[in-house]
Amino acid sequence: MATANIAGYTYGTQQVAHSPLHLPDLENLKKAVLFDADDEKYLRMAGQVLADQIEDVLDVWYGFVGSHPHLVYYFTDGQGNANSDYLAAVRKRFGQWILDTCNRPYDQTWLDYAYEIGLRHHRTKKNKTDGVNAVPNVHFRYMVAFIYPITATIKPFLTKKGHSAEEVEKMHQAWFKSVVLQVALWSAPYVGSEDF
């Protein structure tokens, strides 16, 4: 995966915070969302299907965010002035996240980066990666609410390479499980350690 040209993408580096969870915790979360080896297989398939459609997927997602001022708000200075450079930088990492979701092994490195993503939405690290002056925190309710549009809108893209309806459904379910799993992991900075 060519990631050197993605500003702020620090997967697998020393810059990434260490997750408060470890692999046994991740395995239990995977069980909680019924994520298994078949899902890994179908996520890899989804990765192949989506690889040349990333920009189209991002167009849909950014169109969704852009059509809702309460979501664009998180890319603004709080006075309603959106930072286009910030939007563009996040877009590149968002595209890489699609590929990582489908292709990376769900190991400690992946678990740590999921924690890093949570920190970057929370006031702990929001804006620091890109050195911007934007709203300092993404409200957690939108992290959870975004599960649906990120899941529902991916399915049409999974149908575009001639796979059977059953294969498309299995890819979609694997994607859905992974998104729920990741949002659970991203919640760590928002929840007290004794409750997380």
Domain boundaries, the chain: 30-190
Phi/psi region, residue 78 (left: phi>0; alpha: psi -120 to 50; beta: rest), is left
Residue environment code for 94-108, b if the CB has 16+ CB neighbours within 10 A, otherwise e = bbbbbebbbebebee
Greatest extent of the chain over all pairs of C-alpha atoms, in Å: 48
Instruction: Give Cα 27 to chain centroid, integer Å.
Output: 19
Q: Is residue 180 scored above 80 in pLDDT?
A: yes
Segment 20-32, tens digit of pLDDT: 999 999 999 999 9
Pairwise CA distance, residues 121 & 143, whole Å:
9
The model carries a pTM of 0.96
Most confident by average pLDDT, 4-13, 70-79, 115-124: 115-124
Average pLDDT for the chain = 96
The alpha-helical segments, DSSP class H, found in 128-164 are 140-145, 147-152, 155-158
The average pLDDT across 104-132 equals: 97
30-190 maps to CATH 3.30.750.24: no
